[in-house]
Homo-oligomer: A and B are copies of this chain.
Amino acid sequence: MYSCSEKRMEDKIKTFSKFGDAGHGGITRYSLSPEAIMARNEFKKRMEKIGAKIEVDDVGDMYATIEGTDPGAKRIVMGSHVDSVKNGGNYDGILGVMAAMEVLETVKQCDIPHRHPLTAMIWTNEEGSLYPPAMMCSGIVCYDYLPEDIRVKFKYEDMMNSKSILDPTKTFGMALESSGFKGDKKYRLSPDKYMCMFETHIEQGPILEDNGNDIGVVDCVLGMFNYRLKFFGQTVHAGTFPMPKRRDAFLAAAETLCYLHKEIDALGIPDLVYTTGEVVCHPCVHTCVPDYFDFSFDARHEDPKILEKVLDIVKSCANKNWGNGCTCEVEKAWNRDTVYWNKKLVGFVKEAAEETGVTHQYIHSGAGHDAQFCSYVIPTTMIFVQSKDGLSHCEPEFSSVKHCTEGATVMLNAVLKADKEDEI
């Protein structure tokens, strides 16, 4: 059993937290921004210092590899992303990169024998905060290995043309070209060169903390569906139009939201989560009754049968009279099935957690991660680290140095178990 260094981890957390420091304890570090490039250069500097070889693929994904003793063995890769949402925290994504670096540094420092080459990597543009969509570059790289219906979403040319949400004259492709991090397609993660993948990540929820556990042994990424509920009324003047004749799309949406909570909560499913986070209101002026309102509906659960029940309730909203005569359309945006991690790798993480003595439990991932696309290419799994108060994608996001280091230690020992295998 080997242990990573809390001191070294703390130094990394402090250093990387500077790149994009937004002044309130968190960061804004859009993919390929000057701040993200600082983080990439720091990664390169630290990895070259321990003798790792740096490769960059054609979408900017970075790979730092130290050789193993078996020249014919495939690489074991660990990684995550360095980009953040606007006013995000110091742990989401970057922890997986720092943990991977920490594993390589520990292996070198302690001279830990290993057969396979070990790679720490950075996926480009996981958040998609500046250039949508999220998980863009794991999507592009894993493209050829994905089922037909998902392929379209991450077409290389389309992704290069993705417009900046801050300046539509700038594209992801332009940012990539000017970043100095556009490499060669031959370096992409592929099953002929890579044996398996580990991603360490903060939990982003309160379950580990509530249960008093340090580490989550992740078994799957939850299946989900995402719909839009759209309401159509009539815009009239706030002062001149009698109440009984109004058809108010905002009222229709509010009634529907209350109905959804009532009906879905009555199903009594403990692990279900559903979210209505994005709204559109038109014309959205205080002197007009809204003629249009829509909101997103995102539901997640491991069991597709449960999701089917929830979807039935959502779809039933289309046939009701909301807001005194508004019409409602229920439109599918996308869905995904539950993605189960490789059982053998999950077992290695569980054993490593037991051996290192951290408190731990099995846990599902409710959020999407690059690992999810990666699992279409090679056996993949994830390790979760306790999040304070379950907060993430915001500046108060926090995980302790102890927990971050424990995540790296569990990953190191799980990797060493995988290292004994020729195939997973």
Residues of A within 8 A of B (CB): 203-207, 222, 224, 226, 234-243, 245, 248, 250-251, 253-255, 257-258, 261, 265, 271-279, 281, 283-290, 295-296, 298, 300, 333, 365-368, 390-394
Contacts and interface: CB of A to CB of B under 8 A. Distances in A.
A250 B236 contact: no
B238 A205 contact: no
A205 B286 contact: no
A394 B234 CA distance: 10
A336 to B, nearest CB: 11
A277 B289 contact: yes
Copies of this chain assembled into the complex? 2
Given A251-B257, A284-B279, A367 B298 contact: no
A207 B277 contact: no
A208 to B, nearest CB: 11
Contact of A240 (B203, B248, B251, B289): B203
Contact of A254 (B248, B257, B288, B393): B257
Given A237-B366, A239-B222, A243-B272, A286 B257 contact: no
A257 B323 CA distance: 11
B205 A273 contact: no
Nearest to A290: B277
Residue from A238, A265, A281 having most chain B Cβ neighbours under 10 A: A238
- Most chain B CB within 10 A, of A258, A287, A392, is at A287
Contacts of A224: 239
Nearest to A291: B394
Question: What are the 8 tightest A-B residue pairs by CB atom distance, in nearest-first order?
Answer: A239-B366, A205-B240, A238-B275, A286-B296, A254-B254, A240-B366, A254-B257, A204-B240
Given A250-B257, A257-B250, A258-B255, A239 B300 contact: yes
Contacts of A285: 277-278
B279 A279 contact: yes
Contacts of A271: 242
Contact of A367 (B207, B239, B258, B276): B239
